[in-house]
Structure 1
């Protein structure tokens, strides 16, 4: 295991064995952008599927803004490419793709529940939750340092508030590993955190991450010099044999 400079708030939680994943039961994961599922909770998803538990996915944004200046790949082509990469990653994790739901909200401007588009998105999420009735919902950490991640968390909370018997909500971490300010991180007494040992499925997770080729060095979208790719230091956080999860204290 590589020692990485990480926020201590995220590295001191107790580690649970791989089998602890089954406590989540059937699970629905909200994905702000294609790749967040593999980075933040790919190991957990693979362990859930190893236990034959249902996993459903909702892609929130259209994923078009990582390379907005590309001429080779139009916005619609980028959207298609990234959805195909997501489907390939989910197959690596043994997650069925037939039921993948896509909200197609604007990448970089996912609305909050206070906006009209956000209200409509909440209504869609409520319908999806009622359709599948998962035992648990995976959502990005509420203050993960990306506006789309925070908006996705807010949409999830608003949708869950409409349910008489809401599922367990578990938050996963993506950008807080590298970009978090002290106030972005969990505060004392705010959450109960835990780490999950994903070592039996770490190779699966790595293969799933590798499916997101457009977001990695050597991206096929090669005509936007200002385009985004995940850097080596960021990727290193997701080569670890554990994943971190957070739950509201008392929840």
Structure 2
């Protein structure tokens, strides 16, 4: 993991918009990523990562009628350290509720969505990485397509979940797709640390982006900081604009 990469306002959107690497990425169709007969298993380190990383892709999968399995690794209770407004006990209840509302706003069939809450400790997933791998592996089939955060995404939980998911997928013969989320914050537009040769673009229509934006606004806790202790929001406007481009990127 990079040394403390998620600081400041990160790489401005206009630099990404002029990135030669990003502009030249080949497009890929959702039906090709998750073929008929496959189930999509989305493994999110925290409640919201599934929407931030692939809210557009999820809409496409729902439209195709692909079976969906969501695994929330943690309840996201450590997002506001030291806050009285958002203490860990409150967050552990609120954040999964926010995810449910966000998925509803995306138009996902919640009645048929299989959703597991794994209960690992927010910000300490790496300490239980092997246990997480075993947990994930128990719930995978060889025909699954696993979508999770990139193993080099810059957040300790994102990276640990990415590694555990990759190892579990490899063990059962499932397909792995990785999603950059915080990468857009710390990386530079021509950054050689990004595996551009594995990167593919999923085009998103204006309506799909609008639904993704509406879904993200269900995460009230993440849109609010705590001014009393000088805590900025996790999902500040400059973070959101980088995640609401007319495409999503996956590493195949």
Match of residue 73, structure 2, among 60, 67, 84: 60
- How far 1:138 sits from its partner (Å)? 0.4
Q: Are 1:126 and 2:137 matched, yes or no?
A: yes
Instruction: Give the secondary structure class of the aligned counterpart of 1:33.
Output: coil
Give the alignment's TM-score, normalised by structure 2: 0.82
Give the whole-Å Cα distance in 1 for the aligned partners of 2:23 and 2:91. Answer: 35
Which shifted more, 87-96 or 137-146?
A: 87-96
Q: Structure 1 residues 109, 159: CA separation in 2 closer, same or farther (over 3 Å shift)? A: same
Q: How many residues align?
A: 233
Match of residue 238, structure 1, among 234, 243, 250: 243
- Where does residue 39 of structure 2 map in the other structure? 26
Asked if 2 retains the 8 angstrom alpha-carbon contact of 1:58 and 1:103, the reply is: yes
Structure 1 residues 161-201: Cα deviation after superposition (integer angstroms, max 9, x where no partner): 321xx2221111111112126454226xxx42211111142
- How far 1:96 sits from its partner (Å)? 4.1
Which shifted more, 54-63 or 11-20?
A: 11-20
Q: Structure 1 residues 36, 11: CA separation in 2 closer, same or farther (over 3 Å shift)? A: farther
Asked if 2 retains the 8 angstrom alpha-carbon contact of 1:4 and 1:237, the reply is: no
Q: Structure 1 residues 177, 3: CA separation in 2 closer, same or farther (over 3 Å shift)? A: closer
Asked if 1 retains the 8 angstrom alpha-carbon contact of 2:30 and 2:61, the reply is: no
Structure 1 residues 132-157: Cα deviation after superposition (integer angstroms, max 9, x where no partner): x6531101122111111111111112
- How far 1:101 sits from its partner (Å)? 0.8
Q: Structure 1 residues 221, 233: CA separation in 2 closer, same or farther (over 3 Å shift)? A: closer
- Where does residue 192 of structure 1 map in the other structure? 198
- 1:21-170 matched pairs, under 5 angstroms: 23=35, 25-97=38-110, 99-111=114-126, 115=127, 117-130=128-141, 135-163=144-172, 166-170=173-177
- 1:196-215 matched pairs, under 5 angstroms: 196-199=202-205, 200-215=207-222
Give the alignment's TM-score, normalised by structure 1: 0.82
Which shifted more, 117-126 or 65-74?
A: 65-74
Alignment RMSD: 2.5
Match of residue 4, structure 1, among 9, 14, 24: 14
Unpaired stretches in structure 1, ≥5 consecutive residues = none
Asked if 2 retains the 8 angstrom alpha-carbon contact of 1:140 and 1:153, the reply is: yes
- How far 1:229 sits from its partner (Å)? 2.3
